[in-house]
Amino acid sequence: MAFLIGGEMRFLNIEDEMKYFQRMFLLRKEIENFLYNEGFMNIEPSIFEGYDEFISVNSRIDKKTTVKILDSNKDILILAPDITTGIINKFMPRWEYGLKLKIFYYGKTYKYNGTGIKENREMGVEILGEKNENTDQDTLNVANRILNKYSENYLIEIGSSKFLKGIISACSFKKEDYHNILDFLYSKNKQELREYLEKLPYKEPMRTLYNILELEGSYEEITYQLKDMYLNDLAREGLEELKAIDSCMKNITDKIIYDLSLVSELSYYDGIIFRGYIEGSNKAIIKGGRYDSFTEQYGYKVPAIGFTVELDELSKILYREDV
């Protein structure tokens, strides 16, 4: 028998613990085999990142949650809170024009939660150097197939960082206001978002932002709600990308909704952003999006999209079903 304590699995006996980790091992192998057969190549990511470099490109990460260590030269390193950053840092300085990579990995991320170090097991997919009219849809389809393999009751939320950036940039917020508003959106705190916006000097785009937590549903539903709201060219571009995705994905699955308030704890997404959920957990099993601009900070601007599969959370759901 097992219990969840602070989000962690705790077992009454060794036999149950071994069954749980055997199930996770098989789960990992199943997903690895699926990705390999889909043409992805495996890499092994590093667990270390340079502290200053990581923070400089991931400004929304809470510095207090990073796990810091000193190397032999007394430089500050951190145990990786995010694996994608390390992969881009590894490949971009040596990138060659025309190169295309489809890679997958298994790794761990680390976060200090106030009482100890939280270790998170995940698998990830990254597609680098490839962008055509089908790349986003193909990536979403891979994520969809993984979710569908383990449950019939799942949901994929899709948003647009481009849409959100268009609206927020039109408001000309100060840096502090910008980050506070993203935090309200991340926590889905409608009341605090609205109270905060009401204290700021009014600008027309703020009306869209004021209602953004209600802009959720089918593509037709969100575009209908936007009819009389402020939009600029960047926001419209984001909506057009979602329209293309909707045209394709509605023929594959009916498990998709659109959420224009969707943001990530990470600050590097600049296109579509998505999360996948399975019944039995309120935590995302899949997290991902497009991050072309992020690669430019390491040397070259390369088309890039990817997602992670949260193995710990998926294993908990499947373990409870087995029990």
pLDDT of residue 157: 97
Does 320 score more than 80 pLDDT? no
Could you tell me which residues come within 8 angstroms of residue 311 by beta carbon, excluding any fewer than 6 positions away? 24, 27, 28, 106, 121, 122, 123
pLDDT: which is higher, 19 or 240: 240
What mean pLDDT do residues 5-34 have? Answer: 84
Please give the domain boundaries of the chain with CATH numbers for all domains.
Answer: 2-322 (3.30.930.10)
Helices marked H in 217-264 — which ranges? 219-225, 233-249
Rounded distance between C-alpha atoms, residue 143 and residue 257, angstroms: 15
Q: How confident is the model at residue 65 (pLDDT cuts 50, 70, 90)?
A: very high
Does 265 score more than 90 pLDDT? no
The pLDDT tens digits for 177-234 are: 998 999 999 999 999 999 999 999 888 999 999 999 999 999 999 999 999 899 999 9
Phi (first) and psi of residue 256, to 5 degrees:
-115, 135
